[in-house]
Structure 1
Amino acid sequence: MKIKTIQNGVRGMGEKKRKITLGIPDAYVILFMILVLMALLTYAIPAGEFQREEVDGVTVVVPGSYTQIEASSASLMDIFIAIQKGMIESAPLIFLVLMIGGAFAVIESTGAIDALILKTIEKTKNKELVLITIVMILFSIFGTLGIIVNAVIAFIPIGIILARSMKLDAVVGVSMIYLGAYAGFNTAFLDPLTTGTAQQIAQLPLFSGIGYRVIMYIAVLLATILYVAWYVKRIQKNPMNSVLGNTPFPKIEEKDELSGEVSVTGTHKLVLIWLVLGIGLYVFGVFKYSWSLNEMAAIFLMIAVGTAVIARLTPNRLVKEFFAGARGLVYGAMIIGMARSIVVILEDGKILDTIVQGMANVMTPFTSVSGAIVMFIANELFNILVSSGSGQAVIVMPIMTPLADLMDIPRQVAVQAYKMGDGFTNVITPTSGILMANLAIAGVAWTKWIRFILPLLLIWTVLGIIFLAIGVLIDWGPF
């Protein structure tokens, strides 16, 4: 009897262990496994590099200049140093997330956002899809200009609050803002940093081909809105259809819904005006003074302090609310640096250029249409490693431009193959600091997000293939 009891105990322990191992790996575990894999690849892939030169102030790769160099394989120490380097290189974005989290916690403590959302819901009652569509169109327009792709982080908390008020989930909150912006950024027909840089390298007139790109933008935006609407309808039919299950808002567990008795007071209006002025000042600074993440973080600190003054919060209360908000985002903020460490290993291991050269070798044998499609798919895959749009442009466009000429592919098509390849997979790659920061603010696990976004990514990819094939067939020129 005693032996049987022991055996049952051992069996119970074994069952517990099996349950633990069957769990979905944490995002940090996934990223660390990718990091180790990339480190191992530095032993399998030959080290190499392209020559680079300055052309009109832009550093570009010299086509045909790839040479193999002495191996710089990653050691065990290099793997962990890469994590530290990734954190350091991502510091502006990491601290920006913490500042935004703290600032919005201060604002929320005044009740101003709750009051605003109640009024918004009252005006759009039973018209959730109309509200979502308007928000997505607005942010997509900003996305086409390229000015919102980093600043979109600032608006995620508002998207989450809107989604919560409509009894949806955090994924919808992220989608309204983030996917809306990237539906525009996927073509970015007026973005000087991505489309403009690529066209400059390809020696095309700036923003040429805009007519066809506007058609692509409309198609991608429409597909995105319809996909999000389909997901919203599923949740409204059964809340358990949410990819987040029974925790639709992981970061807002203590507030299931807004109180219907909240009214917009004079203090609320002043707090909201202060918030709008702060964000407006940042947008102005982006256009006028080329402000970036550091200025954005400073603006949100100013918003937090100003809000405390308007709402008459004591300094101690300000600190308490601010750090309560920041504390909840530490996990997600640090993951941005973890994602960056993967690129650090590739760069320090000197295999990034080798990967680009391999892409060039694979593309050469294809026909015009199939070659354009391969360019596009290859850029989608490469973007998973290098999620910087302008950075990817200066790496791949000097390779793709002569390839396009050899394969009788219009250079305009080559530019678009790069642009859509860069834009589409930004919504899944864990090496994108912007994506990971947005998910961190919303409390959405990367693995949950992937379940939601993969079908839309497939739809975007099919649309991209169709448009690129048409571009080759019509000999899409600089017009």
Structure 2
Amino acid sequence: MEQAKKKGFKMPSSYTVLFILIIILAILTWIIPAGEYEKNEAGQLVAGTYKTVQSNPQGIYDIFMAPVYGLIGNKLTTGSIGVAFFILIIGGFLGVITETGALDIGIASVIKKNKGKEKRLIPLLMILFAIGGTTYGMAEETIAFYPLLIPIMIGVGFDTITAVAVILVGSQIGCLASTVNPFATGVASDTAGISIADGIVWRLVFLVVMVAISIFYVYSYATKIEKNPEKSFVYSQRKENLELFKIPESSEAMTKKQLYILWIFILTFFIMILSLIPWGDFGIKIFEQFNDALLGLPVIGGLFRHAAPFGTWYFSEITMLFFVSSVLIGVVYGMSEDKFLEVFLKGAADLIGVALICAVSRGIQVIMNDGLITATILHWGEIGLKGLSPQLFITLTYLFYLPMSFLIPGTSSLAGATMGLLGPMAEFVHVRSHLVITAFQAASGVLNLFTPTSGVVMGALAIARIDIIVWIKFLAKLILIVILMSIVILVIATFFY
């Protein structure tokens, strides 16, 4: 009788990993005391007001409801349905443009033009994504770029990890050094009661240093696998990836219709980026003035009476943008209604797994908030950081924010929840509040490179078919370097009180 083959260990899927984390945190709600802080009129937590409350341990029902509330939201946690729907519409948009063939020919052209100098795309694109991260917290919006860049990186001899690293590391390193990001720096500065401009010099130092380090890291990896593809962390998937991610080799000439479609495609992404940067926070009023002028026009003003100016858009508006662009591309290409719906729905279906993973990851926050343990964890941090030297305080503040960024991956949520406590506390030990903000952003940024509680990370890895453990192995050295360099810069900054 033939002996049964021994089955090797297989890493569970991202969904299973996230669900295990939900279970672990549900168990902790039975162990960690429940608590809450008083809030002021702005909804900010008031330092020194923590009190224990009756516990609300989470059971089996709550565990299974967590991903549901993670999607639709409940009283204590905002749902991720807006992000999830945006991802589905992005999928439909990509399905429509793929059907036209314009993207394939465009990508083939990029590969051809960069033959022999492919690696120059890496620093260029990483700088662009870092600018998006540092100015407006570019994160979920990057999901649209992965299906585009992966074929290019594979086509010029790299791998899926290189593609994901260019986008994810680039944008999140930018977020790590958020100079004027309203969703991190803005919320944190407002909560701490200081100007968004305070501490911008140190955040610029972070931006330059960390972007340079990350570009060198990704560039070195790409060089290594270019010389020897077997060095790739996903070499075992190379044949599968070459089939899965279409590598355009078309020698066809681009038609006029396809050229127009490519311009619509480029314009869509340009409008998205332009619309998300908070121009008003920088004193730039041109888009508000243009919007007011548009609304003042006869007839046209009535058609756009509810339009929001660039700089105030968010997921609802950019979801609309990609849907309108999809329809416009279909019209320009001459698609029938049936064909348009077929390719749009097929494209949306391709990204449904990515959309759902956002809901499961948000379920972790649901369990913590509903279990009333978030405030208790914050209180432990409040107690532990009192009465220290400036250098030790800022180091421990940074280290404190590492696990907190894991538990609360949303920068706005984490800033709003903690900065009202740690900002004032820092001044008592002669550390400027803006430095606490920089420490918070630096810690949040490095965790958001790999934390499985982030829908952006898990969504990107799902698109690229990269296992979370493989991704962490690739990032391990970079993470260590970034953490050490962050502490060094923060400690140096304490001497300039």
Matched residue, 1:447:
469
1:59-108 per-position Cα deviation (integer Å, ceiling 9, x unaligned): 21100000000010011111111121112222111222122122112212
Matched residue, 1:235:
225
- The alpha-carbon distance between structure 1 residues 264 and 52, as it changes in their structure 2 partners (threshold 3 A), is same
Amino acid at match of 1:217: L
Matched residue, 1:62:
46
Matched, 1:244 2:266: no
1:102-133 per-position Cα deviation (integer Å, ceiling 9, x unaligned): 21122122221122222223332211221211
Return the alpha-carbon distance in structure 2 between the equivalents of residues 423 and 172 of structure 1. 19
Deviates more, 1:203-212 or 1:128-137: 203-212
Matched, 1:376 2:398: yes
* Correspondence 1:115-130 to 2 at 5 A: 115-130=105-120
Deviates more, 1:196-205 or 1:248-257: 248-257
- The alpha-carbon distance between structure 1 residues 311 and 139, as it changes in their structure 2 partners (threshold 3 A), is same
Matched, 1:101 2:91: yes
Return the alpha-carbon distance in structure 2 between the equivalents of residues 254 and 262 of structure 1. 22
Matched, 1:25 2:5: no
1:126-148 per-position Cα deviation (integer Å, ceiling 9, x unaligned): 11221211111122122211153
Matched residue, 1:83:
67
Return the alpha-carbon distance in structure 2 between the equivalents of residues 208 and 118 of structure 1. 46
CA contact (8 A) 2:99 2:343 kept: yes
- The alpha-carbon distance between structure 1 residues 444 and 316, as it changes in their structure 2 partners (threshold 3 A), is farther
RMSD over equivalenced CA pairs, Å: 2.0
Deviates more, 1:436-445 or 1:416-425: 436-445
Compute the displacement of 1:392 (Å).
Answer: 0.8
Deviates more, 1:278-287 or 1:165-174: 278-287
CA contact (8 A) 1:82 1:345 kept: yes
- The alpha-carbon distance between structure 1 residues 318 and 247, as it changes in their structure 2 partners (threshold 3 A), is farther
* Correspondence 1:181-220 to 2 at 5 A: 181-220=171-210
Matched residue, 1:294:
316
Amino acid at match of 1:72: N
Amino acid at match of 2:406: I
CA contact (8 A) 2:199 2:435 kept: no
Secondary structure of 1:253's aligned partner: helix
Matched residue, 2:293:
none
CA contact (8 A) 1:279 1:299 kept: no
1:34-55 per-position Cα deviation (integer Å, ceiling 9, x unaligned): 1111000001000000111124
Q: 2:344 aligns with which of 319, 322, 327?
A: 322
Return the alpha-carbon distance in structure 1 between the equivalents of residues 39 and 52 of structure 2. 15
- The alpha-carbon distance between structure 1 residues 198 and 27, as it changes in their structure 2 partners (threshold 3 A), is same
Matched, 1:35 2:22: yes
Matched residue, 1:311:
333
Amino acid at match of 1:104: L
Deviates more, 1:352-361 or 1:320-329: 320-329
Secondary structure of 1:61's aligned partner: coil
The percent of aligned pairs where both chains have the same amino acid is 28
- The alpha-carbon distance between structure 1 residues 382 and 147, as it changes in their structure 2 partners (threshold 3 A), is closer
Amino acid at match of 1:189: T
Matched, 1:338 2:363: no
1:200-240 per-position Cα deviation (integer Å, ceiling 9, x unaligned): 33233331222232121110000010010111012112222
Secondary structure of 1:427's aligned partner: coil
Unpaired runs of 5+ residues, structure 1, are none
Compute the displacement of 1:432 (Å).
Answer: 1.4
Return the alpha-carbon distance in structure 2 between the equivalents of residues 94 and 291 of structure 1. 17
Amino acid at match of 1:48: G
Unpaired runs of 5+ residues, structure 2, are 73-78, 279-308
Matched residue, 1:431:
453
CA contact (8 A) 1:93 1:433 kept: no
